[in-house]
Structure 1
Amino acid sequence: MGGLSIRGLTRSFPGQGAAGPTLALQPTDLDVAPGEFVSILGPSGCGKSTLLRIVAGLDRGTAGTVRLAGRQVTGPGPERGMVFQSYTLFPWLTVEQNILFGLRERKVPAEEARAIATKYIARTGLKGFENHWPRQLSGGMQQRTALARALANDPAILLLDEPFGALDHQTRELMQELLLEVWGADTPETRKTVLFVTHDIDEAIFLANRVLVMSARPGRVKAEVEVPLPYPRDWTVKTTVVFAELKARLMAEIREEVRKAALA
């Protein structure tokens, strides 16, 4: 089970000269239930990506603890799947080989690994592109491959750092729907826990059970907004009164923090 518990997490970076260290993340507490989909919003530089990288084990907090399924996070691990904004595929591997990479590193038997890869190739709409190289794919197809690669390792939690930020608007919306389709295909008992960082308010609402708003640097969770829209969701929920009300509330929260950051 992929329940996440963060207690007293801070992160400061060494400064130069008289400036001293820079506090990026104030003491932060956060709980994410197994199978929950949580989006994180906030102004640039508020510590969203720093928080995600610490959960991924790619960075370390200055103080505090991060626990996943009761175990303290001290470094990267296969129980955490990460997808970045940049296309982080291995250019010398085909789509299928990229998806198989983590499974082979874990020495999953070849037949089992291929069956897993085939499953996620189908789920992410990559059938027919198995032997393509990353350079032959559009941005959306590359991110489908990155998502399939992360899911193939069966992580307890999926960490997504603005994965659709570099895509055009239409492709981005299709990828949002694809992500919900893949996430929702599992039963409530086996569904992945997801922590999703974005600057896009519509995206945050459309995807998540709950949206967190972070303050201007030094970041902290200043607001939590539940999203009472039932799953499965499609684009039509963005036209509803409930969606508009949630968006207005979150825009007000974000606007206040952007102003603070601009005046700092």
Structure 2
Amino acid sequence: MSCVSIEGVARVFESARGQRMQALQPVDLEVRENDFLTILGPSGCGKSTLLRIVAGLERASSGRVLLDGVPVQGPGAERGMVFQSYTLFPWLSVEQNICFGLRERGLPGAQQRERAAYFIAKVGLRGFEQHFPGQLSGGMQQRTAIARALANDPKILLMDEPFGALDNQTRALMQELLLGIWEAERKTVLFVTHDIDEAIFLANRVAVFSARPGRIKTELAVPLPHPRDYRMKTSPEFMDLKARLTEEIRAEAMAADAR
């Protein structure tokens, strides 16, 4: 069953001088219930643009996005978004940041705190409930952002290179954390990255984008078993997938440089 249907979605940007730049060629993509789908491609290929259209933060120039058969017209609580920058409210504590969306929805305070406590524990931030973003490391801020998105119980989690600003060790820990949450919660996840190892490790399916203007060049199943941990990244199966995707991305990066 499809959770998200992307049908012929294209995006053209127009400058103040009337110059047109096509960011996305028409894209067709089905995201199934409980999928963890990573979108992989070279920088500037339109991955984030597509994600923002699914989130309702941008409008497609043509085509449409359906969520459970209903056209997406704008942002909605059924889609949780996590960005590369942490986008936390600096004047709110960890607990208050996580409760923000719940308060906007009118949940009673006791229910807000209960849900916040559950996801604070899930992301390993117990004991930091009253800390403010400026008192946290980058990884802890991103854990807060993920907890905030999950607390609203979205149908689909949209993630735009959420670990891109983290150091390698923290990034690997965050990948395992997110995968553990997905294995437990079984949310549908659409995750944008340009990191090949990350795309394989997290996903049950990878969609590879071409160079700009982006289109889906290849879709590849990731038949690696669950639960997964860092040791899987050196397995023959993982390395075979990495070699194939590396060649796909290399070809697109070279095509982009030739333009």
TM-score higher than 0.5 here? yes
Say if 1:2 and 1:156, in contact at 8 Å, map to a contact too: no
2:258 is matched with 263
The one-letter code matched in structure 2 to 1:258 is A
CA distance in 2, matches of 1:161, 1:2: 21
Q: Name the SS of the counterpart of 1:127 in structure 2.
A: coil
Residue in 1 that maps onto 2:38: 39
- The equivalent of 1:123 in structure 2 is 122
Shift of 1:13: 0.3
Cα deviation per residue 1:131-165 (whole Å; 9 max; x = unaligned)?
Answer: 00000000000000000000000000000000000
Residues 210 and 252, structure 2, Cα contact 8 Å, conserved in 1: yes
2:216 pairs with 1:232: no
Q: How big is the shift at 1:16?
A: 5.1
Aligned counterpart, 1:91? 90
Mapping of residues 67-216 of structure 1, within 5 Å: 67-186=66-185, 191-216=186-211
Tell me if structure 2 keeps the 8 A contact 1:85–1:166.
yes
Match of 1:51 in 2: 50
Alignment-mate amino acid for residue 46 of structure 1: C
Give 2:214's aligned residue.
219
Which residue in 1 is equivalent to 2:27?
28
> What count of residue pairs does the alignment treat as equivalent?
259
**TM-score of the superposed pair, with normalisation by structure 2:** 0.98
Q: 1:250 aligns with which of 229, 245, 251?
A: 245
Q: Tell me the TM-score normalized by structure 1.
A: 0.96
1:17, distance to aligned residue in structure 2 (A): 4.2
Question: Distance in 1 between the 2:153 and 2:226 partners?
Answer: 22
* Cα-to-partner distance string for 1:213-262 (whole Å, 9 max, x where unaligned): 00011100000111010111001110100000000000000000000111
Amino acid at match of 1:199: H
**Structure 2: where are the runs of 5+ without partners?**
none
Partners of 1:2 and 1:193 within 8 A in 2: no
Q: Which runs of 5+ in 1 are unaligned?
A: none
Name the residue aligned to 2:11: 11
Q: Secondary structure of 1:225's partner?
A: strand
Write out per-residue CA displacement over residues 169-225 of structure 1, whole angstroms, 9 at most, x where no aligned residue: 000000000001111112xxxx21000001110000000000110001110000011
SS at the partner of 2:12?
Answer: strand
Q: Aligned equivalents of 2:63 and 2:193: distance in 1? A: 24
Q: What SS does the corresponding residue of 2:158 show, helix, strand or coil?
A: strand
Q: Give every structure 1 segment of 4 or more consecutive aligned residues whose post-TM-superposition deviation is greater than 4 Å.
A: none
Q: Deviations over 1:12-53 (max 9, x none)?
A: 0003547x3111100110001010000011111100000000
Deviations 1:64-111 (A, max 9, x none): 010111111110010000000012100000000000000000001211
Q: Which amino acid in 2 is paired with 1:259?
A: M
- Structure 1 CA distance for aligned equivalents of residues 176 and 17 of structure 2: 48
8 A Cα contact 1:2 1:35, kept in partner = no
Q: Structure 2 matches for 1:59-70, cutoff 5 A? A: 59-70=58-69
> Do the aligned partners of 2:209 and 2:218 also contact (CA within 8 Å) in 1?
yes
SS at match of 2:200: helix
What is the percentage of aligned positions where both structures have the same residue? Answer: 66
CA distance in 1, matches of 2:199, 2:245: 10
Q: Which amino acid aligns with 1:215?
A: S
Cα distance in 1 between the residues matched to 2:233 and 2:173: 14
CA distance in 1, matches of 2:70, 2:124: 34
